[in-house]
Amino acid sequence: MTNLQKFIREHREEFDDSEPSKDHFERFAVLLDEQSKTHIPAYNRSQLLKIAALILLLIGLSAIIFDFATQQIRSRFASVQNNTELPEEIREVIQYYDSHANVQLAALGNLTVGNKDAVALNESVLREIGFLDASTAELKINLADNPGNERIEAAIIRNQQMKESILNTIINEISNKSR
């Protein structure tokens, strides 16, 4: 037996002498009445079934809408990929001229360093090349709509050749002026 238990047994009469007041029991009864009145109303079975059906309907509609949206995105992505499909020969030509144009642009940049007139000319050339690239992109879309059209393929090749020709001409002019 612990000291606390021993103390409680020895002094039991001192603990039992006080009773709660009469109004304590009345307040307790009032609190019990209030608590029993505020219980949560129960839903009947038909209401719960209606709510469950509505939730299932919303989930089903969401799944259908999501499927439709992803299908649209996939079809657009596939059409964009199909529009950019070019014949192998055309892709090789574009790659060849683009690589040469990049080398020439680097050379042009080296030639124009420190020359204000050449810098303005360089900006003009870059703008023209941008126009040619935009035109080539438009031609690629037209070629995707009309596969095998030789006129469009020739126009793409001419654009690439014009880009190289412009760069060659400008580089030659700047080189001749600097001599």
Supply the pTM of this predicted model.
Answer: 0.49
Phi, psi at 79, each rounded to 5°: -70, -35
91, two tokens? 């892709």
Which pLDDT value is given to residue 52?
92
Confidence check: pLDDT of 55 > 90: yes
Please enumerate in sequence order all residues whose Cβ is within 8 A of that of 135, keeping only pairs 6 or more positions apart, or say none: 159
**Diameter over CA atoms, the chain:** 123
Summary mean pLDDT of the chain:
81
Contacts 24+ apart (CB under 8 A), 125-128: 125/166, 125/167, 125/170, 128/166
List pLDDT tens digits, range 93-106.
888 988 888 888 88
Determine the average pLDDT of the residues in 68-79.
77
DSSP-assigned letters across all residues of 34-67: HHHHTPPPPPPHHHHHHHHHHHHHHHHHHHHHHH
Which pLDDT value is given to residue 56?
93
Q: Which of 56-65, 69-78, 116-125, 146-155 has the lowest mean pLDDT?
A: 116-125
- Give CA–CA dist 52/82, Å, rounded: 45
Which pLDDT value is given to residue 51?
92
For residue 101, count CB atoms less than 10 angstroms from its CB and return exposed for 0-12, middle for 13-18, buried for 19 or more.
buried
